Amino acid sequence: MTDRRPNPFQGLEELFEQMSRQFENAARSWDREEEGGLERPETGDGGSNAMDLLDRGDEFVVTIDVPGYETDDLEVRLAGETLRVSGEHRETRDEREEAYVRRERHVQSFDRRVRIPEPVDVDDVDATVDNGVLTVTLPKADPTADSHTIDIE
């Protein structure tokens, strides 16, 4: 008769496999970002927030799905040529008010970045949320605004 004891390292092996998958996903997102594409990392809840970048000629429009997020839950930041959109939504649900019989908390978060291919006029950037979709409008910078004539000697 063979002794069938459970593997005491089973939980650790599963944890290392999960960490390995997460590192591989992160490495793929970094590669895409370096190539100038959209970065698509995992979100805090295991899903993803779809992001689109549209070039309308005189402006760029970035749309990102943010269902369940309020305006105060979102942060939009433009640093150099990178637009970063992040959000965190906390929800608490009580089964019974007084002495907790059951209380659940849910935190959902995401962090997305996209490289904007041309300079934009940072003073005219606009962001709105409508029906769970965040729209960021980035007017292109006037190429002659920062230019000056160089005298030839």
pLDDT grade, residue 2 (50/70/90)?
low
* Domain assignment present for 109: yes
Number of domains in the chain: 1
pLDDT digits (tens, 9 = 90+) for 32-44: 554 444 444 444 4
Q: In sequence order, what DSSP letters do the residues of 90-121 get, joined into one string?
A: EEEEESSSSS-S-EEEEEEEEEEEEE-SS-B-
CATH of the domain at 98: 2.60.40.790
Residues 79-138 pLDDT 10s: 988 999 999 888 766 555 666 666 667 778 889 999 999 999 988 999 999 999 999 999
Rounded-to-integer distance, Cα 120 and Cα 143, Å: 10
Range of the domain at 59: 42-139
pLDDT at 101: 67
CA–CA dist 42, 57 (Å, integer)? 31
DSSP H or E stretch at residue 59: strand 59-65
Average pLDDT over the chain reads 78
Residue 77: inside a domain: yes
Instruction: Return the higher-pLDDT residue of 95 and 18.
Output: 18
Residue 33 lies in a domain: no
Assigned domain for 11 exists: no
- Predicted confidence at residue 7, as pLDDT, reads 72
Task: Let me know if residue 93 belongs to a domain.
Answer: yes
Confidence grade of residue 49 (pLDDT, cut at 50, 70, 90): confident
88 is a domain residue: yes
Structural domain includes residue 102: yes
- Examine residue 129 and state whether it is found in any structural domain, yes or no: yes
